[in-house]
Structure formats: C-alpha cells, structure tokens
Structure 1
Amino acid sequence: MADIAHRHLDSNGLRTHIAEAGSGPLVLLLHGFLNYSYSWRHQLRALADAGYHAVAPDLRGYGDTDRPDAVEEYTQLHLAGDVVGLLDALGERSAVVVGHDWGSMIAWTTALLRPDRVRGVVGLSVPYVPRGRQSLLSAMRSRFGDGYYMQYFQEAGRADRELARDVAATFRSVLYSGSASASEPWNPVVPTGGGWLDVLPDPGVLPPWLTESDLAAYVETFERTGFTGGLNWYRALDLSWELMAAWHDAPVTAPALFAYGAEDSFARYAAQLIEALPASVPDLRASLALPGCGHWVQQEKPEEVNRALLGFLNELG
C-alpha cells in the first residue's frame, strides 16, 4: 500500500501544503468546508495503488496552507486560480480534478474557466450550478430568510467564535448531523438570537465511519488554525457572483462524474439542480446516488467512492 507524504509548494502566491501518494496521471482532491486534506485519507492510497499521482491540498484558508486576511482574496476566481497554480507547481499540464462540498464548487469552476487544464471533473455532494440572475447567497436568503446559515456566516467573528468555543463538540455535531447516521434531517436555518450549532445536535458519540483518531486530527488542526479562512469563502460569495458575469449560464464541457449521498439533506434541497445537471454539464458520464450515505461521501462510503472514481478515471484513459 502506498505511503502518504507531505510537503509544501509555492503556488499562486501561497505556501500550500499537500498530502500526496503514488505516481502517474495527476488527480487533485479538493476538500470542502470544515475539512482539509485529511478528508481524502481513504482515496489517496487507493488512487496511488491504481497507478495515479493523488494530491490533496489544504486549500486557501485551511490547514497548513496560507490564510490571507482579506475576504476579497477568497473568491471563486482566487480558488480556481490556486488549482491552476498547483498544477504549475507540480509541473503538470492537466489533471482530473475531484472536489467535495465547497471543493466540488471549486472543481466545477476550474473546469469552467480552464478547460485546457482539466481532463475530467468529479463533483461530490454539490452539483454544478451555472451563474444565475442572483448570487447563491441572495437566492438562498430569498428561499429560507435571513436565518439561513450562509447569511449567519456573513458577520465577521460571530460564527468564528461559535465554532471555536469547543472544537471537539463542533466536529461531533457537524460531522454527525450531515451524515446518514443523523436521526433528523439537517436544518439550514439558524434560530433568531442563536447560533449555527444550535440546530446541529451533538450526539456525544461518533458515527461508525469516524474514529476517535479522525476526530483528534480535525480538532488538532482547527484549534491551531481557527475557522475564519473557511468562513471567508462564504463571505466572498456575492463578490464571486459579480466577477463571474462573463460566464453567466455557461456549461461545463469537460467529461464529468457526479456522486452524492442518497441520505444527504442537502441533496433534497438541491434535487432540481441535480436533475438539471445533464443540461449544464453535457458530457456528464453518470450521476450516482449512494445508498445509506449522507453528505460526507468519501468518508462515509470510501469503497463506493473509490470504485466510482477509478471507473471514471479508467474510462478517460
């Protein structure tokens, strides 16, 4: 079984930490919100053993990668630029780009903006959403009201402090509530005067797919880094929408795969977007609903995700 190595690269003006394994065609693995490169621990070795160079960076604002102070440096253009910068730093012309959650959004955006650098794109949990008439933040606020959690995240410092108050409890709540282990659907609306964690129960125990060692890795990392970097991705949503005007309603043309958890509460809210995916991603090879799986697909169902990834990669050749 391949070993996972760690190093830092200078890319796109950032000191970027990567975890990597194997050699061969490059596969980039982009994590989502409240995650970092560790979330791909089940994929790195599997891809390496199959003959690929698997690389999972800590993305801008996370882990051991630089965390710029200005919110304006966390737009989708910056994040997609970081992916291209990482390709350059690795000496690669192109890669298959795989993303989960927010990383999925970055993967879709990179494939949209730089199709010359993306051989294929895989989105996990979050489908591609073409730029519409209003920003994602505005659309969700219209649907759910000012209590929608993305709106709650906009106030500098507030969610940052809440999430950092008890990091272990934060991750028990977040990882449990978003998974298929949760007893109730995830509630995206923050109660008036309350916080985001008020609607995410802390079960006191871990779901079966998460070990105490896994939890300790998350806690150690986020106690050291804080949460502001990741929250800034949300705080740049409106600016990203403004800057992406030239790509309004544009399709992603790269060969693509989409997979999501059949028990993911987000998938229920995004059902229409998932159904519309073939129209906005014309070379979509498959859209897979994984039974018994919630939002954290590559951690909850690693064997199924690895099988889907390798099938897609083999099809690309």
Structure 2
Amino acid sequence: MTAITEHHVVYAGDKKINYLAAGPVNGPLILFIHGWPGTAITWKAQIDAFAALGFRAIAPDMPGYGKSTARRVVEDYSQEALVEGMMALLAGTGHHVGIWVGHDWGAGVTSSVARQHPEAVKALINLCVPYHTIELGWDGFLPLVNREIYPADEYEFGQWDYMRNWEENFEKTIQWCDQDPAGLCKAFLQRTSQPSNRFAPLGLVRKNGWLGGIPKPPAVDATGPPILPADVFDSFAADMQRTGFWPGTAYYLNHERNAEYNGKAPSGGRLKQPVLFVHALWDTVCDTKTSRLVEPMREFCSNLTEVTVEAGHWVQFEKPGYVNAALFRFIVDELPSEWPGFWDSGYTKKKLVL
C-alpha cells in the first residue's frame, strides 16, 4: 500500500492548510476536496486507489476542519477565501494544474475554483452537488427545488430548510451539535437504503429540530457501524472533536458573499474543460434525479459526463469501488494524457483486419 504523508501550506499571513498526500510527486495531480462535515482522511479509499496507479493524490483538511486553521471568523469560509486557500494548496504541491474532485461543500469549492481559475483545472469532478449551483448563493439552487414535493407555501426553502436554520439559529444549533460531535458524525454516516419517497427530513429542521428534535445527538454506541472503515472514522471523529462544528458550518453563512464573488467569474462561468458529475441516486437533499438541480450545469458545461451510483449522499463512502471506477473511466476517456505512464510507457495498439 502506498504511504500517505502529511504536509501543510501557510498562506494569507498565518492561515494553514493541512493535507495528506500519496503517490509519486511528479505523477498527474488529483485533489480530493471534502464537504460538511469531513476531513482529509475520509478520502482514504480514493487516495489509496489513485496513488497506487501513479497519481499524486492530495486531500486537504479544508479550512475550519482537522489540523487546518479553524478560526471563528465567518468570512474565512466564504468561497473567495476558500479559493485563495486552494490556490495556495495547489502551489504547495509543486503543480500548476490538476484534476479537482469535490463532494458536498467541497463541490461548491471545486466549482468556485473552476469558475475563477479555469487555468488551474484540468478537469472538474463533482459528487452530489452540481456545478453552477451552491457556489452562487441561494439563487443558485433554491429556484430549482421540486415544488411538487415541497409546495412553496408550506416549505419555502424546500429540502434546504436546514440551511436557513443555520442562518437563523446558528449558535444554538452549534451548541446542540457540539454536545457530541463524534456521535453526530456517526449518526450521519449510516448506510443508506432506497428511500420510500423523495421527501428529505432536513426540510423540517426549522419546524422539528435536527434528527426530529432530540435533545442531543445520539451517543456513539447508539447507532450502527459507520460506512467509513473503523480506523478512518475514529480519526475523522477525533478531528471533529478537536474543532467542533462552528468553523466548518460557517460555510453556510456566506451565501450573499458567494453570489457576489462568483457572479463575476471569467467567461460567465462557462466551462470548456471535461466535467464529470456523479449522481447519488438515493440522495434526497442534493436531489439531482427529480429536481432541476442539474439543469444549470448542463447548460454551462460544454463537455459533461454524468454517471449514477445507487447510494445516498455519502456516495464515495458507501460505494467507493463504483465511484473510483467512474473516475478512472472518465480520466481514461477524456484525459488520456493524464493517465500515469501515458507519455513514457511505449503503449501501442494495432488492429489486424482478417
């Protein structure tokens, strides 16, 4: 198994991004950007797989998480500030361009990087959250809610009600989360089954509270095994215990700043690079199957590939083999020159007509 090493970059004075790396330093660069909540180690299945093939695989603790700077400053978690950190991370790897893979808020960040610095993006791969949505603030995704499931007069914010709850009740909700960060993370990371309907319980958070309004998160021993390997989960849980939920959740408090920043993207935000989007079939929050959430991506990406995996929101944890295979095929099909060894392997092909 390829060794995973730990590194960091310092930028903007005294901010730090901690990251994990594996694979040959000069191999094609692929960066894995986690969402809420998460840390670098949660990408271990992808780091191992890609490094073993000869990629240089990088996964940061995003600002607000793990060993990266986690100040209680809301502006630190705007897309503009996060992109600044990602550009520092890229420079720290010794590369100037890479394949960017993002999940959840990580997909918002990779989308922002692609919008603002297309020269740094060889290809964009987003899981669950499409390009041209969350990085644009409320207007990027709220109008795309399926109003047959969430009538506007009853569910103004649709399945995104929990996001509005962060804006209205941030400190109170953080206090609830921080009663047991490890227990809450384990409750989130349970295996998903096919939903009986497409209504997301997170559409009722302001009415009922988190997890139906229980007084505190479930204890670690109150839920089943997590979908992450035990050692990976334990490391992730320790990371969340260290920072608490405040810094990483402040990503949700910057919608207006994000809209202003990404509204000024070069080329109007249209992408020419290859883009892969992974649908999680059973994801009822980032619902890309019955809502219009994917429509802007299809309009703004000229070279788009889509694949669907039967899993919930944590698709790369539930079905790592399927997700990795989708990424491998996409790179081989769309970016063969980025496949390790392409340029020096002497690989040739001949067809003999009989």
> Map of 1:60-209 to 2, 5 A cutoff?
60-129=63-132, 135-136=139-140, 143=152, 144-145=155-156, 148-154=161-167, 155-176=169-190, 179-180=192-193, 186-192=200-206, 194-198=208-212, 204-206=222-224, 209=227
Whether the 8 Å CA contact 1:181–1:207 is kept in 2: the answer is no
Q: Deviations over 1:170-216 (max 9, x none)?
A: 11322228x34777753122455653232699693335733443432
Partner of 1:18: 19
Inter-partner Cα distance in structure 2 for 1:133 and 1:5 = 35
The count of aligned residue pairs is 314
TM-fit CA distance, 1:242: 2.2
* SS, match of residue 266 in structure 1: coil
TM-fit CA distance, 1:137: 7.9
Inter-partner Cα distance in structure 2 for 1:181 and 1:215 = 23
Inter-partner Cα distance in structure 1 for 2:126 and 2:316 = 11
Q: 1:208 to 1:276 in 2, by over 3 A?
A: same
Q: Flag structure 1 segments of 5+ consecutive residues without an equivalent.
A: none
Percent identity reads 27
Whether the 8 Å CA contact 2:281–2:308 is kept in 1: the answer is yes
Amino acid across the alignment from 2:287 = R
* SS, match of residue 150 in structure 1: helix
Calculate the TM-score normalised by the size of structure 2: 0.79
TM-fit CA distance, 1:234: 0.3
Partner of 1:59: 62
Inter-partner Cα distance in structure 1 for 2:162 and 2:5 = 36
Calculate the TM-score normalised by the size of structure 1: 0.88
- Tell me which stretches of 4 or more aligned residues in structure 1 moved more than 4 Å: 130-134, 136-143, 181-185, 191-194, 199-203
Q: Which shifted more, 136-145 or 107-116? A: 136-145
1:250 matched to 2:279 = no
Partner of 1:8: 8
Q: Flag structure 2 segments of 5+ consecutive residues without an equivalent.
A: 338-354
Whether the 8 Å CA contact 1:16–1:59 is kept in 2: the answer is yes
* SS, match of residue 101 in structure 2: strand
Please identify the structure whose Cα radius of gyration is greater.
Answer: 2
* SS, match of residue 233 in structure 1: helix
1:280 matched to 2:295 = no
Aligned Cα root-mean-square deviation (Å): 2.9
Whether the 8 Å CA contact 1:112–1:253 is kept in 2: the answer is no
Q: 1:265 to 1:105 in 2, by over 3 A?
A: same
TM-fit CA distance, 1:119: 0.6
1:260 matched to 2:279 = yes
Partner of 2:325: 307
